[in-house]
Amino acid sequence: MDTLSDILKITIPALIVFFTAWILLRNMIKNDQYKRRQELILQNSRTITPIKLQAYERIVLFLERISLESLLVRVSSPEMTAPQLHTAMLNAIRSEFEHNLSQQIYMSQQAWEVVRNARSNMIKIINSEVEKLPADSSGMSLSKRLLEKIMEIEKEPTRVAIDYVKNEIARMI
């Protein structure tokens, strides 16, 4: 009985010290892992945030470039027919979009969807207005119809998308 009490007198304090040391070491390791994870997240955000902002800037530039006013200034010339202007505008929109396709990696799914919808709606507006004109119409008459159509719309699709992108950037920053 004496030996059992001697063993208990030695093992119980040893077990208490062991469990205390084990708990302290486990907490220190968890805290160290948490700090490393936070540092990694901070380092990644320092790297990714500027890239994301550049992607959003490029998308806003894309949206500005495919707005009807900008598109008409860049693409139209006085001697163009309506079908020629129509083709030139659609080609410009498609090439701008293809040039900026990679930006979707850095954008939220919702923002990219808004951008795609803006592009599709711009194409729909152009297509619907060119269908209303006779085949031998001038490019100037198509330009006039497009500008009138944009005046009728409360907000141009590209403007809606730009506003959405700006709001998303504000939330991100």
Q: Quick one: pLDDT at residue 48?
A: 85
Q: Quick one: pLDDT at residue 42?
A: 87
DSSP-derived secondary structure letter, 137: -
pLDDT, tens digit, for every residue of 33-64?
Answer: 999 999 998 887 788 889 999 999 999 999 99
Q: How many CA atoms lie within 13 A of 155 on its CB side?
A: 9
Q: Quick one: pLDDT at residue 143?
A: 94
Q: Quick one: pLDDT at residue 152?
A: 92
DSSP sequence for 4-43: HHHHHHHHHHHHHHHHHHHHHHHHHHHHHHHHHHHHHHHH
DSSP, collapsed to helix, strand or coil, labels residue 154 as coil
Q: CA angle 109-115-119, nearest 5°?
A: 140
Q: What is the pTM of this model?
A: 0.77
**52 vs 59: CA distance, rounded Å:** 11
Give the helix ranges, DSSP H, for the chain.
2-65, 68-75, 82-99, 109-131, 139-152, 157-172
Domain boundaries of the chain, sorted by first residue? 49-172
Q: Quick one: pLDDT at residue 7?
A: 87
Q: How many residues does the chain have?
A: 173
What residues contact 125, with CB distance under 8 A and at least 6 apart?
Answer: 68, 146, 149, 150, 153, 157
Please list the rounded mean pLDDT of every run of 10 residues in the chain (173 residues): 84 92 96 94 85 95 96 93 96 96 94 97 96 92 93 92 95 84
Q: Quick one: pLDDT at residue 101?
A: 95
Residue (of 114, 97, 100) closest to 54 by Cα position: 100
What residues contact 74, with CB distance under 8 A and at least 6 apart?
Answer: 65, 92
